[in-house]
Each structure stands twice: as structure tokens, then as C-alpha cells.
Amino acid sequence: MSAATDTALTEQPAAEHVRSVLARAISLSLSANGQDYDLIGMHSVDGRGRIVLHPQADSPLAVQVAAAERGGIGAVLEFTDIAPTALRDRVRARVTITGRVAPAEAGGGGVLRLDPTRVTLRTTAGTRDVDLDAFERAEPDPLAVEEAAMLTHLADAHGDMVADLVVLAGSRLPLGVVRALPLAVDRHGITLRCEYHEGHCDLRLLFPATARDAAEAGEQVRRLLTTPRCAHHQHPSPRP
């Protein structure tokens, strides 16, 4: 089951979604020349979305790049966006970036850069290619980095508030919810995963106003509970 809003302006653009995934990612998987690498805490992303890798200077990846001809080696990077709360089907999105990995600076030093040629976003809504210029221009959602702490705090300390948010769906939410947990939050709204004995429903609730940071998002959640239900634009629909 899933839910969607009927207001296009509140949907996160694909390029922004990708930048948000990268902003909160602490690890990635890299494939190059038949070799697979799991890089944990070994990358950074600058303000333009450029990915810099920081493997050990004597690592197989760094050695492979150093031995390559000018221009580096072809590589595929994958980032997996996992919900921070313990709900079913925790993978929210996958970002795949294809490009070439080369030394970030002349003279080496082990620091590598990725020059992307293709960016792909996969979610439950489908797979789409992201325009490279849009990817470079986009910025992460302002809540992206703090999202995990916000959602886990809501789940651990405010279960009653989550239950009250579910009630906002009224008759539009299928009966039989056995558990509900926060799935995602961005500046436009919060999404809850409502679980059933079989399947689940992702319930999207729009904030009364756009949130610019975590404090404002918390205030918008509280306002949701005092705003007429018709203002939330929630439309759950079944999905196996």
C-alpha cells in the first residue's frame, strides 16, 4: 500500500531526493573492473554534489586507479537509503551513480573523485534517470541530515503522537493497522508506515507550512494535530 499527495509542489524533485540521500549516507558500494568495494566512512559530498572518495592510499581501489591510464577507471557507486526506524521493508531508495573514478589531485595522495555520467534514482514509485545539471544545481532537503534523529525520537518517545497522526487519515486509511512508525520527513511533510498483518500503507501528511529546520518541523507536526483533516491531502491506496 502507498500514499501520495495531490499537490505536485510538495513532491520532492528527483535531483533533490538524490542529494538528500547522499547528504545522509555514511557508506556506499562501489564496483569497478569486476571488483566490489564497501566504503564505510570513506567519502564526502561537496555543495555541488561532487563525490570524493578517501580510501587508504595502499587499498586495492587506490592502487587500481593509480595503475590506470589517464582518465581513471569506470565505476558504479550505489547508495542505499534505509529508514532509521525498525519498520518493514526499510529500504526507501537506491541511488546509482555511474562515472569514472580518478585521482582528485595531480600527484595522487590516495584521494579520488567521481566524475558522474549517469545518476539513477529507484524508489517504490519506480526508476528514473536524473538530469546531471539538475543534480549539480539541487540542494539536499534542509531536514536530510537531521531526519534520522527526528524520526527515531518520534518513534521512541512520542508513540502517542504517531497514533494521533494516523487518526488524521480517517476513513481513507484501510482498517486493520497493527503498527505505525515514522518512515520519512522532509520540509513539506511527514510519512508514516502503517503496517497490517499483510502489507502496509505509507501515509503522507502535508505540513501546514514549509519547515526550514528540525525545530520548525517539530512545530509543524504539532500543528498537523490541530489542523482540519481536509488540509492534509492524504490518499492511501493499496499495494501488496
In the chain, what are the domain boundaries?
Answer: 4-8+11-137, 147-237
Cell of 21: 540521500
Cross-strand pairs, 190: 185, 205
Residue 71: which pLDDT band, with cuts at 50, 70 and 90?
Answer: confident
Q: What three-state secondary structure class fits 185?
A: strand
Predicted pLDDT of residue 8? 46
Give the whole-angstrom CA distance, residue 207 versus residue 221: 7
Residue 114: which pLDDT band, with cuts at 50, 70 and 90?
Answer: very high
CATH topology of domain 4-8+11-137: Pnp Oxidase; Chain A (2.30.110)
Cell of 65: 586507479
Predicted pLDDT of residue 3? 38
Q: Is the pLDDT of residue 119 over 70?
A: yes
CA nearest to 234, candidates 196, 198, 194, 178: 194
CATH 3.20.180.10 fits 147-237, yes or no: yes
pTM: 0.89
Rounded to an integer, the average pLDDT of 83-105 is: 96
Cross-strand pairs, 27: 40
Q: What average pLDDT does the chain have?
A: 90
